[in-house]
């Protein structure tokens, strides 16, 4: 891969070649890795665990977002994901509210000494009793609410969205977010925005909590959608490999700067 950066510097050809080789050698040890040996086994395990918790009659979609979606992850990148529950009328799925994923809002850190006391039936409690999952906590104060945990030294950040599908209650098929075109996904996001606007007209303690939930859903889907648009634009230019290389290099640099200085620049 040619780097235009070196065309702008006052190098002789041999110096340019040496500089490019040295840079690639340095970056190669940091940002290139065997993607086939990546976190996919653990991703499948987590999706399987969530599906097992949801049990029968629940249509669950597991969307990779962030660097996994953009395919610019490094070897130590977090796994960001969105769990989408597709609801149908009378679908017999026992999950109806987002708080069934998060559980008791006053309990935000899994205490391994009291695992058996987490009995509210939430996904959070289900994961808390899984001894292969560590450092489990819920972040209810960020704009996008997530459950965080570590599986085999891989950090997972998972948000949740519930979408009501306009299909027959006897139908076994639901649309999948990752197969929708831009307009249909934007319609879903716009619907979440309208729900937020209606809630803002009738604010109260209970409504305020619902507003935060709805905002979290909207931002999760909007982030996923914007990443999809970015991918399509980069692919149209034919520079996807360069995009992956540059963004991986920048992330590695930012991480090293943070580790060195202890502050973000």
> Hey, which bits of 119-243 come out as E strands?
133-139, 146-151, 154-164
Residues 217 and 144 in one domain: yes
Residues 230 and 169 in one domain: yes
Residues 120 and 212 in one domain: yes
Residue 43: give the domain boundaries: 39-261
Residues 134 and 50 in one domain: yes
> CA-CA distance, 57 to 54, in Å (whole number)?
8
Residues in the chain: 265
Decide if 211 contacts 199 (C-beta within 8 A): yes
Residues 84 and 187 in one domain: yes
SS3 129: coil
Quote the number of domains for the chain.
Answer: 2
Neighbours of 190 (CB within 10 A): 11
190: its two tokens: 């716009």
Residues 242 and 125 in one domain: yes
Residues 113 and 78 in one domain: yes
SS3 169: coil
Q: For every one of its 265 residues, what pLDDT tens digit does the chain have, with 9 covering 90 and above?
A: 555 554 545 555 566 666 666 666 655 555 555 555 568 889 999 999 999 999 878 889 999 999 999 888 887 789 999 999 998 888 889 999 999 999 887 777 787 666 677 888 899 999 998 989 999 999 988 889 999 999 999 999 999 999 987 643 334 445 678 777 788 888 888 888 888 877 776 665 566 778 888 899 999 999 999 999 999 999 898 888 888 888 888 877 777 766 566 554 4
Global model pTM greater than 0.85: no
Q: Which residues contact 158 (CB under 8 A, 6 or more apart)?
A: 46, 80, 81, 82, 83, 146, 147, 148
Residues 52 and 172 in one domain: yes
Element (H, E) at 45: helix 40-54
Alpha carbon separation from 203 to 121, 154, 217 (Å, rounded): 29, 39, 18
Decide if 76 contacts 97 (C-beta within 8 A): no
Residues 25 and 43 in one domain: no
Residues 175 and 239 in one domain: yes
SS3 62: strand
């Amino acid at each position: 891969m040619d780097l235009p950066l070196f065309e702008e510097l006052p190098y002789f050809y041999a110096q340019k070649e040496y500089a490019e080789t040295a840079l690639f050698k340095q970056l190669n040890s940091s940002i290139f890795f065997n993607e086939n040996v990546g976190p996919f086994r653990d991703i499948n395990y987590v999706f399987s665990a969530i599906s097992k918790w949801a049990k029968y009659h629940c249509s669950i979609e597991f969307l990779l977002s962030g660097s996994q979606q953009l395919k610019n992850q490094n070897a130590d990148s977090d796994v960001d994901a969105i769990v989408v529950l597709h609801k149908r009328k009378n679908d017999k799925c026992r999950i109806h509210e987002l708080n069934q994923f998060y559980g008791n809002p006053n309990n935000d850190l899994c205490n391994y000494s009291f695992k058996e006391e987490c009995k509210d039936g939430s996904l959070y409690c289900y994961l808390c009793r899984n001894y292969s999952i560590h450092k489990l906590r819920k972040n209810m104060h960020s704009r996008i609410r997530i459950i965080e945990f570590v599986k085999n030294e891989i950090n997972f950040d998972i948000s949740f969205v519930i979408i009501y599908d306009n299909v027959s209650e006897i139908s076994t098929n639901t649309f999948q977010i990752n197969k929708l075109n831009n307009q249909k996904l934007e319609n879903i996001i716009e619907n979440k925005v309208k729900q937020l606007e209606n809630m803002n007209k009738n604010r109260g303690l209970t409504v305020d909590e619902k507003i935060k939930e709805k905002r979290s859903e909207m931002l999760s889907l909007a982030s996923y959608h914007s990443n999809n648009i970015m991918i399509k634009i980069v692919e149209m230019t034919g520079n996807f490999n360069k995009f992956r290389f540059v963004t991986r290099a920048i992330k590695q640099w930012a991480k090293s700067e943070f580790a060195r200085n202890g502050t973000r620049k």
